[in-house]
Structure 1
Amino acid sequence: MKTAAVLALICLLLVDVRGQARNPKGRCWCADAGLKMVRLNRVEKLEILPPSASCGKQEIIAVMKDGAGKKCLNPESNFVQDLIKRMMETKKQQ
């Protein structure tokens, strides 16, 4: 009886059980392609997230004024590309 218990204990110690690995950064913020256009007077700031190991695509997130949350923007939209250029020019002038 003791040998069986010792063997069972040894087997449990030898088994390497691992759960699913978690990525600390998480996944992409934007689940879909995102909005093609937003009202400029509602945007507080833009967050540009480059491709990373956890998300292979560039993401552009507009933080809205008055606590309206965050909206994902489509980085391929002409409106969004122009918006980024304008924001960069404004930042250079400051």
Structure 2
Amino acid sequence: MTLHLGIMDCKIAAIVCVVLLSASVIQGAAIPKGNRCLCKKISKKVNIKGLEKLEIYPRSSSCENVEYIATLKKRSVPICVSPNLKEVKALLGRKIQQYKHIEVIHHK
């Protein structure tokens, strides 16, 4: 009977060791959060005359893209715009006087 309990104790000890080791590996594993970007669709055009502000969100742990979000004066829902638009580039360069009134916000 003593020999039988000794084998059972070894099996239980082995199982406990495996569970503890696997728990530490699982706890340290990164869980992917998915793509949590603000922009799902990007507009390829924007009416610069109707633009109220442009917000720029940098890359982050939840989104690998730099995002440009435009708020229009007559539209309550902001739109995502491409940074490659000539209007956006002109606004960021501040080279055109008529765009000086448009607020540009760089989020950090």
Which category describes the TM-score, using the shorter chain as reference length? 0.5 to 0.7
Which of 20, 30, 35 pairs up with 2:39?
A: 30
Of all paired residues, the percent bearing the same amino acid is 27
| Aligned pairs (5 A) from 1:1-80 | 1-15=8-22, 16-18=25-27, 19-22=29-32, 27-31=36-40, 34-39=42-47, 40-41=49-50, 43-52=51-60, 54-55=63-64, 57-64=65-72, 68-80=76-88
Q: Structure 1: any 5+ residue segments left out of the alignment?
A: none
Q: Is the 8 A contact 1:36 1:79 kept in 2?
A: no
| 1:81 lines up with 2:92 in the alignment | no
TM-score by length of 2: 0.53
| Counterpart secondary structure, 1:17 | helix
Name the aligned partner's letter for residue 30 of structure 1. Answer: C
Aligned residues: 85
Structure ID, larger Rg: 2
Q: Structure 2: any 5+ residue segments left out of the alignment?
A: 1-7, 104-108
TM-score by length of 1: 0.59
| Counterpart secondary structure, 1:45 | strand
Q: Is the 8 A contact 1:37 1:80 kept in 2?
A: no
